[in-house]
Structure 1
Amino acid sequence: MQMILFKMNQQHYLISADTVEEVVDTIAITQVPLAPKWVEGLINLRGTVITVVNLATLIGVAESATNKNILVLNHEGNRKGLLIEEVMEVLDIEDQDVQLAGINSDSHFVGVVAVEDVIADVIDVAKLSF
């Protein structure tokens, strides 16, 4: 399966490329009053308004100093943007490469993968509560 390798605050993560519609550079984000703290705001992407979620805040990790990319997801017809530090590359990952899979079925982390010289946490978009 194809997965997108990205980093946030010097940590590496993988997300299935099946759920990612596109990767865009960070653009102006309009704040939304009274939104949950993990909602960064709204963007206008070619005439479509998309909610942008700060992934670091949502999953409870330290935020990056700079966020260069937004992963535009289309999960079950619902489009959202995930604000991340930087996309590294797209990789082909085999199911058997995912280690520690199924240890915590309640978590959005579904395992880890050793990629070159880094260890990346695998995030399941379906388990993110946003």
Structure 2
Amino acid sequence: MQVVVFKLKDEEFGVETSKVQNIGDNMSITRVPKSPAFIKGLVNLRGNVITLLDINLLLGIDNDNESTNTIILKLEEEEIGITVDEVKEVLEVDENVIERNSVEDENSYIKGILNFKDRIVTLIDVAELL
């Protein structure tokens, strides 16, 4: 399985590449009046209007950085965008090395943990988060 690793503040997260449609930066965002705080606005990607979400707010991360990279994800029949601080890399990961989340609680969006010697990457299920 391949995973796109991205950074939010000082933490690294990952999503499966099978869900990723596009990775971009500095997309023009159209604000939506009176929308919830986690909706940053709308972006136009090749004629498709896509809702852009602030994943920092959804994950409860207090991040003062201006997220400039955008990851467009395909969830079932809908495309959504998330803003991240930095897209780090694409990793090939054996599913056997993913440490599963054994506690079913409010963090059910955590698909597992990739524990490397020098860092930890939290694998998230964006569909579950939303």
Hey, what does 1:66 align to over in structure 2? 66
Moved more, 15-24 or 57-66: 57-66
RMSD value, Cα: 1.5
Q: TM-score, normalised by structure 1?
A: 0.91
Gap regions ≥5 residues in structure 2: none
Aligned to 1:125: 126
Distance in 2, matches of 1:25 and 1:62, equals: 21
Separation of aligned partners in 2, 1:90 and 1:100: 20
C-alpha separation in 2, matches of 1:64 and 1:112: 25
Number of the residue aligned with 1:34: 34
Distance (whole Å) between structure 1 residues aligned to residue 37 and residue 63 of structure 2:
13
CA 1:25 to 1:69, structure 2 compared with 1: closer, same or farther past 3 Å? same
**AA partner of residue 95 (structure 1):** E
- Matched AA of 2:68: K
Structure 1 stretch displaced more, 51-60 or 106-115: 106-115
Q: With structure 2 as the length reference, what TM-score do the two structures score?
A: 0.91
Q: Secondary structure at the match of 2:34?
A: coil
Aligned partner of 1:85 in structure 2 is: 85
The runs of 4+ residues in structure 1 deviating greater than 2 Å are 100-106
Unaligned runs of 5+ in 1: none
- Answer yes or no: is the 8 Å Cα contact 1:6–1:12 preserved in 2: yes
1:67, 1:85 within 8 Å by CA — same for their partners in 2? yes
Number of the residue aligned with 1:110: 111
Q: Which residue type is aligned with residue 51 of structure 1? A: T
Distance 1:64 1:91, change over 3 A: farther
| Aligned equivalents of 1:8, 1:111: Cα separation in 2 | 17
Q: Which amino acid aligns with 1:122?
A: L
